[in-house]
Every structure is written in structure tokens, then in C-alpha cells.
Amino acid sequence: MSGSPSLLDELGTLEKEALAAVEAASTPGELEAARITFLGRKEGRISGILRRLGEMDPAERPRVGARANEVKKALQEALDRREEALATGRGTPGAEGPDLTLPGRAAWIGGVHPVTRVIDDLVEIFRELGFTRARGPEAETEWYNFEALNTPLDHPAADEQDTLYLKGGHLLRSHTSPVQVRVLEQYEPPIRILAPGMVYRRDTFDATHTPAFAQLEGLVVDEGVTFVDLKATLAEFARRYWGPDTKIRFRPSFFPFTEPSAEVDVKGGDGEWLEIMGAGMVDPAVLEAAGLDAERYTGFAFGMGPGRIGLLRHRIPDLRLFLENDVRFLSRFARP
């Protein structure tokens, strides 16, 4: 009786050790060494135990023999599995190569904001037409934002309702048109500039209005510039941006700083008319406010909202999406 529990215990311990050795084998050579150590006919440790069956109570021998066969079988199965795993490259962690069946992990790619993308595309088209980029401050004086643009401070457009005032006589510019005056003061004609930038109004925050939004201002001033140049330039721009079949239409309008003034609509081959900008011939009062001879020079100006153009282009239902900084939305516009 005395021998059997200890031989059964030894078999149990041996089984654990053997299975661990098989799992730890990371080459066919190591696996073969483990096989010989445990299952080897002469020197193998299971054979060693079976050789000691003779020390045992004959009644207990069958139990130990059966257990030894179980251990042999489990070990042989483990060896086969491990051999297969090593052959197909699915070995222990660290010993294995990359798993080529896993989906790739794409690198995070930053992107230009969709409104900035629209601005860049528009500026690029106008660059081809001879325009350069200009810019002015977002904190403006009433002079540049209104008065120099032929807009008296008691004009409805200058009404405090629309405008965000800062301390010290400044306000957040309500449009990019003040850049017209700053450029006219600084440079001699011929002038052909585009001024993109943010503008601010005390507007409601809804699907089609945001209190901060981008505008793109255009200004051309030279000797002999006429309404024909305005129409031809904007028609050419529209065809380059929306496609060769695009039509444009001018509807009479009013801006204090242009005379005559128009709202400009575009229509693609299939679609409906879309209002995309205000435009007009620069009012002589603006040229004079900037110190230019209005007898000698004429010009045209236009102003559009790249955010609105982006909405139309991508069929986005709500302007606020552009301002929420939600990468799930923004990443859809990322171009590598």
C-alpha cells in the first residue's frame, strides 16, 4: 500500500512539469529534448517510474499503470500540438513573428479643417487669375469696419445689435471688407487681392448662422476696371470651382461700399440657383477714404462665405458641425 500514493503523486508532478516543458519549447530541437526527457524508452522519466512498479503492492499496480498511460497520452498530444504550432509559426509570445492576418493599424493623419480647405481651393483658383493673398486684423476700428467703407455709424449695418465691441474703441470686424481699405492705403494700384479671415457678428447660433465665421474678400482696383471685368472674373472663377457648365446670375442689391451692388448666384449643370456672394463696383467714396484718386481708378469687390460654400459642396445640413471640433466629422474630410 505504502508505495502507490507516492508514485501516483510523482506522476501528477511529472505531468505538470512535462506539459510546461513542451509549452516552453520554442524550437523543434527543444521539443525533441523534452520528448526524450519524459517519454524516452530507456532514460525517460515515465519509464523510470514504471520500472519501480515492482516495489508496489500488486493490487495497486493497475491504477499506477493506467495513470502512467494517461500521462503518456496527454504528453504525446501536447507534443503533437506544439510541433504543429512551431511549424506554422504560432509559437510562444516573443518567439512568434508578426500575425499577418490582423487588420492594419493606420497611422493617425491630421487634416486641414474643411472650411480652410475650401478657402485654399478658392484662393488657388484666384491665384491663377492673378490675385495674391492679403490680410488684416480681426480687432478693427470703427473707421475701417464702417466709416471708410462709406457706412456712417448710425447706418443699420453699424448698429450695435450686429457688432461685438471690445474695450478701447475696437470691435471684432463684422466682415473682411476693412481689408480693402487697409490694402488700398498700403499699395499702389494695380491691386488684385483676396483676403480670407474670420469675422464676428452678434448672430444667433443655428444651422445657418454662427457668431464667428470665415469670409473671403476680393478686391481689384486699377485704371479702367469695369463691371465687365467683375462679371468675367466671377464667371471664370465659378466655372473653375463648380465646373465648366456653371452659370452665374447677378441680382441687384445694396452695400454701402459698392455701387452698383449685386448678390451673385451660381447654378451647376443640374442644380438650382445658390446665393454665394455679395459684389459690386467699389464706391468712389471708399477709394477717396483710402487716399486714392477716384477719377483715375475704378475697381470691384466681392465677399463670400467659404463655410456656406463648404455646406453646399459637401451637402452638410448644419453650419455648427464646422465649429464643434468633433473628429468623427472632421476626419471625413482629411486628405492624406
Sites of contact with ligand PHE (CB under 6 A): 175, 177, 217, 255, 258, 278-280, 301-303
Nearer to ligand PHE, 237 or 255 (CB): 255
* Parallel, antiparallel or unpaired: strands 212-222 and 247-255: unpaired
Nearer to ligand PHE, 109 or 228 (CB): 228
Q: Cis ω on the peptide bond leading into residue 190 (within 30° of 0)?
A: yes
Residue closest to ligand PHE (Cβ) = 303
What are residue 44's phi and psi, to 5 degrees?
Answer: -60, 150
Return d(Cα 48, Cα 54) in angstroms, integer. Answer: 12
Least separation in angstroms between residue 302's CB and ligand PHE is 5
CB closer to ligand PHE, 30 vs 275: 275
Q: Determine the Cα–Cα distance for residues 243 and 81; give it in Å rounded to an integer.
A: 64
**Minimum distance from residue 288 beta carbon to ligand PHE (Å):** 17
DSSP string for 67-112: HHHHHHHHHHHHHHHHHHHHHTT--STTTS---TTSPP-PPP----
CB of 271 to ligand PHE, least distance (A): 23
Closest Cα partner for 129 from 300, 293, 298? Answer: 300
Nearer to ligand PHE among residue 252 and residue 336 (C-beta): 252
Minimum distance, C-beta of residue 268 to ligand PHE, in the bound complex (Å): 23
Considering the complex, state which of residue 278 and residue 307 has its C-beta at the smaller distance from ligand PHE: 278
- 2: how many CB neighbours lie within 10 A of its CB? 9
